[in-house]
């Protein structure tokens, strides 16, 4: 709010609104500033109707390819390479940390995993 007060007169809603809308920043930040200014106007009994919410940009999640994941695993130390490799099967870090030798079945190529969700055991089959 201080930054807004440095650049515009907060008692003049039209100028403040124009300043916020002309900022070179993301719509989400502008929406937050407009909401903050609305609260300020309400607290100081200044009449101002907030404009419609600005459309915020989507930020798609970029999922790494199998090739990229394998490249990361191959460049990791042995300890982390094992954890990364196991996590490819959907295991959580706390589940990986609970794996012991008795959980490994090398004949079947399975790992018994004690999950943190309700403590139920699941089997994870190796794809090798």
pTM of this structure: 0.47
pLDDT at res. 126: 59
Pull the structure tokens for residue 88. Answer: 């490819």
**In this predicted model, what pLDDT tens digit does every residue of 43-94 receive, in sequence order?**
999 999 999 988 887 777 788 888 888 888 888 888 788 777 777 777 887 8
State the pLDDT confidence band at 112, using cuts at 50, 70 and 90: confident
**Distance between CA atoms of residues 33 and 46, nearest Å:** 16
**Distance between CA atoms of residues 81 and 58, nearest Å:** 33
Which residues are paired to 121 by β-bridges?
A: 114
Secondary structure (3-state) at 114: strand
113 φ, ψ (degrees, to nearest 5): -115, 125
**Distance between CA atoms of residues 12 and 17, nearest Å:** 9
CB 16 within 8 A of CB 8: yes
Pull the structure tokens for residue 5. Answer: 């007060």
Site of tokens 């990364």: 84
């Amino acid at each position: 709010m201080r930054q807004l007060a440095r650049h515009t007169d907060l008692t003049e809603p039209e100028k403040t609104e124009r300043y916020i809308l002309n900022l070179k920043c993301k719509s989400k930040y502008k929406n937050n500033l407009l909401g903050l200014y609305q609260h300020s106007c309400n607290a100081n009994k200044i009449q101002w109707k907030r404009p419609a919410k600005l459309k915020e940009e989507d930020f798609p999640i970029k999922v790494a390819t199998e090739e990229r994941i394998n490249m990361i695993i191959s460049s990791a130390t042995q300890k982390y390479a094992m954890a990364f490799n196991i996590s490819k099967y959907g295991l959580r870090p706390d589940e990986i940390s609970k794996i012991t030798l008795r959980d490994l079945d090398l004949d079947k190529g399975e790992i018994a995993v004690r999950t943190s969700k309700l403590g139920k055991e699941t089997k994870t089959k190796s794809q090798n």
